[in-house]
Structure 1
Amino acid sequence: MAPVAALVLSVATTVAHADAVDTLREFVRDVKSGRAAFTQTVTSPDGAKKKTSSGRFEFSRPDRFRFAYAKPFEQLIVGDGKQVWLHDVDLNQVSVRPMSAALGATPAALLAGKSLDTDFDLSAQPSANGLDWALAQPKQKDGAFQSLRVGFRGKTLATVEIVDGFGQRSVLQFDGFETNVALPEDTFRFTAPKGAEVLRQP
């Protein structure tokens, strides 16, 4: 390849990659609420085991979100802005902890939080599988997550890939993402079901 052509290609590639970080920043700045269907695939560190689940995701900034897992087991995770509730329907068990302790550098913080730069170092990655990718690495190195990759199709959030502290990989793929939608206030309220065991964590 001629030096000039190589230089042009290099500059064009750098600009394209930078767009993914810009798109992520715009998503956090401009998208105040949203909802989508999701499919989550969790792969063990050795790649040998996979588990797939699906459900609905909704969020409203700041710090309110709802993951409603429907298959293969019902589970509900609700952030109400002050606390995060996790309801295991089969066990009829509820875990609750303060938002400040639960959020931090997590996927929920990335998708529904107020600021990226407080918790993450951002960098662009090569486009792949029809998506533009941005890498978000938690600044807190001893946290639960090693890294999060966010993939956009144009301006639409398509995929979030998460690698936890044990090397387990989770891939969230979104479908039918709607942005800046009106969501009822009770979407992000949670009341423990009667008879449920409630475990409060610090």
Structure 2
Amino acid sequence: MRFIRLLMLAVLSFTLPAVQAGEEAAAMRLTELLSQAETISARFSQLSLDASGTQLQETAGQLVLKRPGLFRWHTDQPMEQLLVSNGEKVWLYDPDLEQVTIQSLDQRLTHTPALLLSGDVSQIRENFSIEYKEGGSVVDFILRPKASDSLFDSLRLSFRSRVLNDMQLIDSIGQRTNILFLNVKMNEPVDDGVFNFDIPEGVDVIQE
């Protein structure tokens, strides 16, 4: 926005430091909460809605995360899928299609939301503008990507009693994905072998 009047420019000069201070506080608070967990395991329930609020899909499953950059996201039947990353490669396995897609892990947080939970938290401030509000035991963060080619327009992360509770992503056409985390366990030992994938025999392999 262009400010023509000096008065409007003066208002900006007074309000901008307050906004920056708020973002700095939000980034520090989010970094503190994410950094407390080297590993996370949980059940999840995922609901996708279109812009009008009509349900598109509902799934559930199990996730395991380990810092830095390791994650395993297993969606239950009847829409079973397995997404696994060892920090370098990503495997997406679809048992119904008997197909696995392999690609290099996109290290951009705006393209791989799982890295927000398992990646380098120091990158968050570089990739997002951040707001937060805190009330009692609940802390909500709203993250908006700074890059124009992000896969989503906004992401909300919520913590309850310092434990990850839920996440919501909204894309450019208004579609929402709500993810609720259940039975969250932090800092329990996780073998790195969990984050590798052995390709079953007879499965089609697609390299990207």
The TM-score range, normalised by the shorter chain, is 0.7 to 0.9
Q: Secondary structure at the match of 2:126?
A: coil
Aligned to 2:132: 124
Q: Letter of the aligned partner of 1:96 in structure 2?
A: I
Matched, 1:104 2:109: yes
For the structure 1 residues 165 and 22, does the alpha-carbon distance in structure 2 shift closer, same or farther, using more than 3 Å as the test? same
| C-alpha contact 1:149 1:160 (8 A) present in aligned 2 | yes
Q: How far off its partner does 1:145 sit?
A: 1.0
Matched, 1:159 2:166: yes
Matched, 1:182 2:195: no
Q: Letter of the aligned partner of 2:109 in structure 1?
A: G
| Per-residue Cα deviation, 1:8-43 (whole angstroms, up to 9, x for no partner) | xxxxxxxxxx98755421132221111000000011
Provide the rounded CA distance (Å) in 1 between the counterparts of 2:143 and 2:75: 25
Q: What is the alpha-carbon root mean square deviation over aligned residues?
A: 2.2
Aligned to 1:13: none
Q: Letter of the aligned partner of 2:180 in structure 1?
A: Q
| C-alpha contact 1:28 1:113 (8 A) present in aligned 2 | no
- State the number of aligned residues: 182
Q: How far off its partner does 1:86 sit?
A: 0.7
Unaligned runs of 5+ in 2: 1-23
Aligned to 1:32: 38
Q: How far off its partner does 1:110 sit?
A: 1.0
Aligned to 1:196: 203
Aligned to 1:69: 75
Q: How far off its partner does 1:125 sit?
A: 4.0
Q: Secondary structure at the match of 1:148?
A: strand
Provide the rounded CA distance (Å) in 1 between the counterparts of 2:57 and 2:75: 13
Aligned to 2:6: none
Q: How far off its partner does 1:154 sit?
A: 1.6
Provide the rounded CA distance (Å) in 2 between the counterparts of 1:120 and 1:172: 20
Provide the rounded CA distance (Å) in 1 between the counterparts of 2:104 and 2:188: 26
Q: How far off its partner does 1:53 sit?
A: 0.3
Unaligned runs of 5+ in 1: 1-17
Matched, 1:113 2:95: no
Q: How far off its partner does 1:199 sit?
A: 1.4
| Per-residue Cα deviation, 1:150-197 (whole angstroms, up to 9, x for no partner) | 011120100000112332100110011111110012110012211111
Q: How far off its partner does 1:200 sit?
A: 1.6
For the structure 1 residues 166 and 195, does the alpha-carbon distance in structure 2 shift closer, same or farther, using more than 3 Å as the test? farther
Taking the TM superposition and a 5 Å limit, the aligned residue runs for 1:50-89 are: 50-89=56-95
Matched, 1:134 2:141: yes
For the structure 1 residues 127 and 145, does the alpha-carbon distance in structure 2 shift closer, same or farther, using more than 3 Å as the test? farther
Q: Letter of the aligned partner of 2:117 in structure 1?
A: L
Aligned to 1:92: 98
| C-alpha contact 1:82 1:99 (8 A) present in aligned 2 | yes
Q: Letter of the aligned partner of 2:36 in structure 1?
A: D
Choose from 37, 44, 49 the match for 2:50.
44
| Per-residue Cα deviation, 1:46-88 (whole angstroms, up to 9, x for no partner) | 2123311000010001110000111431110001110111111
Q: Letter of the aligned partner of 2:34 in structure 1?
A: V
